Amino acid sequence: MKNFRSILFLLTTLTGAAFQAQVNDTIMEKVREEYSYERLFKNNLTSNPANMHGARKYSITTFKLVTEHTDTPNEIQQKGKGKNLWGAEAHSLQMLDPKTTVWGSASYTQGKTKHMVWNENADYDLIYPYVAADSVGGDMKFENYSFSGGYSRAINSYTVGITGSYRANLSYRDIDPRPKNTSANFSLTVGANKLMFEKFRIGAYAEGEKYTQKHDLSFVSNQGFPTIYNMSGMGNYNELLSGKLRQAYYEGWSYGGGLQIFEANNRNWYLNVGLKKLILDKLLTEYTDLNASKIDEQRMNLSLGKLFDTGKLVWGIFADGSITERKGTENLFLNENSRNYIQIGTVERYNHKITNAIIKGLLQIENAGVKSSLAPFFGWIQETEKYSNPRSVVELNRMVYGADYRWLKTFSRDLALSVSLGLSVTDVYKKNALFNNSGKPAVNQMLQENYAFQSSDFWQARVDVNFHFSLPVIKNAFAGGKIMYSNFQNGNNTLFAATIGAIF
């Protein structure tokens, strides 16, 4: 509760900043910009903090309370079968003067992940495949905190910017097996851009991030406990280290950067290229920080877009693509006794590569207080995951296509309704798998169930409604709800969310 009060204090501070800003924008102008697909497509440029200056026309502060309930029987087992959560968020961007922009955010979330097995860690997408795992698992409670802030200023033909963020996570279970995971991220990004020939800007940025996770697993029952596996990818595990180790420490750094070029006035065209590298070690703290494994991941992304504005009609085309390759290296040990392990070698066995590309369109029409936006898309994803010895391979090729639609009606200076609809189809047109079936039966079953989900076709529908209003006791408020339905051959996933908040 003490931490939650601290979050609320910061949220109140951010909200209060909006009242001090010297701007005369109406609330509805801010609402219309907030829901603009045009603005969202251009957000690729804000990976460079210098580009936050000029990213919006209006200063804005939002505060909201959120609750969300998801059921995901169709999911890999390491991520659980759904979540129940609630939280509070505040975001603020203020233009202090024509040359200076500041922004910040804070959030607090708590809840539980339902029936999570074969993973006793936090942040699975970051540290996989080197997780502690067992076949029992259960619900995992969690609390998340995050803070961020940034500053951008124009100096003659240059604009410079800096932003930083901090995120902390606590996850735990109150019954056996009892993991306790505490993780933290701290990131810092600096960037600049320069106006060229009064026509376009060229920008560059550099970023760095520090990540840590402390993992501790305990048991209270004296009736025995399941085998704890030290997983190494695709159902394989370290036989020597499994069943014994209950503590681990993950430590890593990521660094990268990018370049952008974009039209200076309205950012009606842009090109963005980014690179990022992650190095993450898993240390066994019970054995004097023995280095058990290492992750080496590289990611390259490219995005570009062009908008055409004819007044009441805006249309455009955008493309995004990325290549991510994760390599996993295991250290080999000889154990002289139960407490003394000697490293005798290193071998790279795990590889996971994902290549994706997506093309999006935009058609936006505005007339008589109504803005309608249609954004169709078509994408392609190629994924290959493999383990070298014993050999295991999963190959998946997917097509993704669909469209998003938003209807925004402004009724008055303080009354508006936003309705957003989405429909998408994921078609797995090529799939192949080879598993090492020499492991435990429970491990083999997990692999087969995960593959059945990963190789499934499905379609997804979404409805998101937000109503903005003002009452004598509640000014500039909004309330909303979201429903998402995903249909698989063997069942469906659902999401229900509700939001209430205020915008200034």
- pLDDT, tens digit (0-9, with 9 covering 90-100), for 16-62: 444 443 333 478 899 999 999 989 999 999 999 999 999 999 999 99
Neighbours of 6 (CB within 10 A): 14
Which residues does 6 contact at the CB level (< 8 Å), separation at least 6? none
pLDDT at 175: 93
User: What pTM does this model have?
Assistant: 0.92
Task: Point out which residues pair with 327 in neighbouring strands.
Answer: 296, 351
Environment class of residue 299 by beta-carbon count within 10 Å: exposed (0-12), middle (13-18) or buried (19+)? middle
300: part of which helix (H) or strand (E)?
strand 290-309
pLDDT digits (tens, 9 = 90+) for 181-223: 999 999 999 999 999 999 999 999 999 999 999 999 998 887 7
pLDDT digits (tens, 9 = 90+) for 112-145: 999 999 999 999 999 999 999 999 999 999 999 9
- The arithmetic mean of pLDDT across residues 369-391, rounded, is 96
Which residue matches tokens 């842009």? Answer: 270
Tell me which residue of 259, 272, 269, 341 sits closest to 302, measured CA to CA: 272
State the Cα–Cα distance between residues 111 and 143, nearest whole angstrom: 7
DSSP symbol at 228: P
- The arithmetic mean of pLDDT across residues 323-349, rounded, is 88
| Joined tokens for residue 209 | 């991030």
pLDDT at 5: 52
Asked if 366 and 312 count as a contact pair (C-beta separation under 8 A), the reply is yes
Tell me which residue of 150, 66, 165, 61 sits closest to 108, measured CA to CA: 66
pLDDT at 404: 98
**Which ranges constitute the DSSP H helices of 374-478?**
441-454
Environment class of residue 177 by beta-carbon count within 10 Å: exposed (0-12), middle (13-18) or buried (19+)? buried
Peptide bond just before 441 cis, omega within 30 deg: no
| Joined tokens for residue 232 | 């190494």
Q: Where are the beta strands (DSSP E) in 21-156?
A: 60-71, 82-97, 100-116, 132-133, 138-155
pLDDT at 10: 47
State the Cα–Cα distance between residues 18 and 14, nearest whole angstrom: 7
